[in-house]
Chains A and B, each alone.
Chain A
Amino acid sequence: MIILATFKIALRALRRNTLRTLLTMLGIIIGVGAVIAVVSIGSGAKAQVEAQIASMGQNVIMILSGNVSRGGFRMGFGTAGTLTREDFEAIRKELPDISGISPEVWASAQIAVGNQNTSTSVRGVGVDYLDIRSWRLTSGANFTEADVRNGSKVALIGKTTADLLFGDEDPVGKIIRIKNAPFTIVGLLAAKGMSGPGYDQDDIIFVPYTSAMTRLVGPGQTTFRSLTAQAATAKLVPTVQNEITNLLRQRHRIGPEREDDFLVRTQQEISEMATATSKIMTWLLGSVAAVSLLVGGIGIMNIMLVSVTERTREIGIRMAVGARGRDILLQFLTEAVVLSVLGGCLGIFIGVLSSRVLPRVLSSLGVVTLVSPTSIVVAFLFSAVIGIFFGFYPARKASQLDPIESLRYE
C-alpha cells in the first residue's frame, strides 16, 4: 500500500475525533514540553557558570583556604583562613612557572562622592590581578607594588560604578570615600559587560589588598580566603598546581599522612564542580519529565486499542477487499506515530515557548534557559519511538483479526 495513502487514512481517522486525539496527545505534549524546558534550564545554568568561569581569565588556578574535616574539604571560603601573606609572597617568589598571583579580599562597602551614595563590592587585590583577569584600563594606570606595600588609599573603578558616581566625567584623580576613608581613583577599568543576568562585572572597585585588609574587612584579619594564580602556559597548569600544593604543604608543615588545609583547584576543576550540581538537577527533572512521556505513550496505546475495537468492522472490510495483515499493521502504526509525533511537535513548540517565558517569569531566581538543537531532535525522535513502541501492540492486534469475524462485528 502506498505510504501517502496510509498517511491520509491516519490523518482522517485522527481528525474524526479531534477532542480525543488532542487529549491522547496531551501526555506526549506535556512530556516533551517539560523535557525541553527542563533541559533548557539546565543548559542555561551550565552556560552561565561556564561564562563566569571563562571570565576568570586563562590558565587560572584558585587557591582556597580551608579547614580539614572528616569528609574532606568544606567547599567555599572557610572561616578560619589558612593562607597567610607569607604563603602568598613565597608562591610569588619561588615558583617561576607562575605568571602572576594575587589575593582576593572580598568586601561590600558604602561608597560616597560628595553627597552621592552607593553600595558596591570592593575587592582587595594585588598588582597582578588585572593581568590574570584580563582587565584593561581605559584611563589612568594600575596601582604599584609600592601602593600595595604601603597600603595606599588608591582605587581602580569599574565602568558601571564610575558612570553612576561621575557620569561622563573622567574619574581618574577624583576622591571617593569607601567606608568613610578617602581613596584616590588612579584608573578606570574598561567595561566587561554582564557575565549572566543580574551580575554586572563592571559594578566593582579594586583596591590594594593591604588597604582592604586594614580598612575594609574586620580588623585583625591577617589571612586570605583565596588566592588567584595564573600559570604561564596552559601546559603548565598541572605542574603549577602540584608545585603550589607541595610548597604550601611544606610551609604549613603538613605531614605525609595528613590532609591539606587548603585547596588548589584549576579552572577546569572549578567548572566541573560548578556544573555537576546543575547536571544532576537536569537529569533528575529530566527523568520526571520522561516518565510523563511514558505515561503519554501508555495513553496512546490505550486509545489505539479502543480504536482497533471500534473499527473492527472497517478492518474486516479492508481485509475482505485484499488488505494484508501488514497493511493493517502499517495503518494503525502510522496512526499511532502520527499521534505521538504530532504531540511531540506541539510539545517542542510549548517547550521552546516556555523556555522563552520562564526566565521572565522567574527573573528573580536568575533563571537562564538555553534550548539546544540536540534536545529538540532527541525529543522528536523519542516521540516517534514512543509511537512505534506503544502503537505496535494495538496495530498487531488489528492485523491479526479474523476477516470473517470482523465483518460480522457490530
Chain B
Amino acid sequence: MHAVVKLEDFRKTYYAGEVEVPAVRGVSLEIRQGEFVAIMGASGSGKSTMMNTIGCLDRPTHGRYFLDGVDVGELERDELADLRNEKIGFVFQGFNLLSRTSALENVELPMLYARRGVRGREQLERAMQALDLVGLSDRADHHPNQLSGGQQQRVAIARALVNQPKLLLADEPTGNLDSRTSIEIMGVFQNLNDQAMTIVMVTHELDIARYAKRNVIMRDGRIVNDLPVTERLAAGHELQRLEREQKDVQLVS
C-alpha cells in the first residue's frame, strides 16, 4: 500500500515580526491508506501546524510533503484549494459550520466548489447520504444553533465526507464536547475507518487517542514517539459500558 501522507524533514517557521518561531522542526512521517492516527502532544508542540500542512491549508517552509503521491510544496494557491476540495475532509474543534445555514446546505458546501460541477439533484442526494452516514438525516433542515455540539460536529463530519476524500483530518474534534458525545464521535470515526477511510486526528486526551490505531507524540516541533495502540478502545463497547454505569448510579441513589 502506498502512503497517503508522506512528510520528509518537514519544517515550518513562522515569522512574528523579526522573531523566528520554529513551529515544526523536522518531521518525517508516513501514513498509509486505512490508518487511524492520533497525534498527541502538549499545547504549542506543533500539532495544528502539521495538520494544516497535511490539509493543504499551508505549505512547508522546508522539506517536502506528498499527498497521495503529489508534491504539495510545488503547488499554487488554486491547486491547493482543488486538493482540499477533492482529497481532504476537515473537521475542526469549533465545528466551523456556516451559521444561519441549514445542515444540508452546510454539507453541500464542498460540492459548490467541486472542479467538475455537481448537479443540483446529485448534490442533494450525496448530501443526504453523508448526513445519513453520521445519523443526522432527520435534522437536514436544522440550523447549527438548533443542534447540540455533538450534532454540529456530525454535520461537520458529513461535510468533510461529502466529496469522498482520501483523507479525513480532525484537529481536536472532541475538544468542545462532553465525554459521552466524544465517544459517539469516535464511534463515527471508527466506523469510517473500518470502511478504509484514512483518518488523522489531533487530540490531547489520552483516552480519546486510544480509539485510534496509532499514536504519534510530538514535543517542541518534533516527533518523540510513534507507536501502535495496544489496548484499543471500541466506541460501541465503551458506550454500552457508560450506560451500564449510569444505570448503576441511578440504582444506588
Residues of A bordering B, CB below 8 Å: 1-2, 5, 16, 313-314, 316-327, 403-404, 407
Contacts and interface: CB of A to CB of B under 8 A. Distances in A.
Interface of B: 52, 55, 57-58, 77-78, 81-82, 84-86, 90, 92, 96-98, 100, 109-110, 112-114, 117, 159, 163
Nearest to B58: A404
Contact of A314 (B55, B98, B110): B98
Nearest to A13: B100
A191 to B, nearest CB: 65
Given A5-B112, A16-B100, A324 B81 contact: yes
A321 B58 contact: no
B57 A321 contact: no
> Can you list the 10 inter-chain pairs with the closest CB atoms, starting with the nearest?
A322-B85, A321-B110, A322-B113, A324-B81, A324-B78, A323-B113, A322-B84, A403-B57, A317-B96, A404-B57
A319 B57 CA distance: 9
A317 B155 CA distance: 14
A321 B109 CA distance: 7
Contact of B113 (A16, A316, A324, A403): A324
Contacts of A404: 52, 57-58
Q: Quick one: which of A2, A314, A325, A327 has the most chain B CB within 10 A?
A: A2
13 contacts: A5-B112, A317-B98, A318-B113, A319-B81, A320-B57, A320-B90, A321-B85, A321-B113, A323-B85, A325-B81, A404-B52, A404-B58, A407-B92
A253 B77 CA distance: 86
A126 to B, nearest CB: 80
Contacts of B113: 1, 318, 321-324, 327
Contacts, number: 61
Given A2-B117, A321-B159, A326 B57 contact: no
Contacts of B96: 313, 316-317, 320, 407
A2 B90 CA distance: 23
Given A404-B52, A407-B96, A322 B58 contact: no
Contact of B82 (A313, A317, A324): A324
Interface of A is mostly: helix
Contacts of B55: 320
A401 to B, nearest CB: 11
B100 to A, nearest CB: 7
A325 B78 contact: yes
B109 A326 contact: no
A57 to B, nearest CB: 67
Contacts of A327: 112-113
Contacts of B98: 314, 317
Nearest to B162: A321
Nearest to B100: A16
B58 A320 contact: no
A314 B99 CA distance: 9
A112 B163 CA distance: 95
Contact of A318 (B57, B109, B114): B109
A74 to B, nearest CB: 71
A16 to B, nearest CB: 7
Contacts of B97: 317
A230 B8 CA distance: 97
A338 to B, nearest CB: 18
Contacts of A407: 57, 92, 96
A1 B114 CA distance: 7
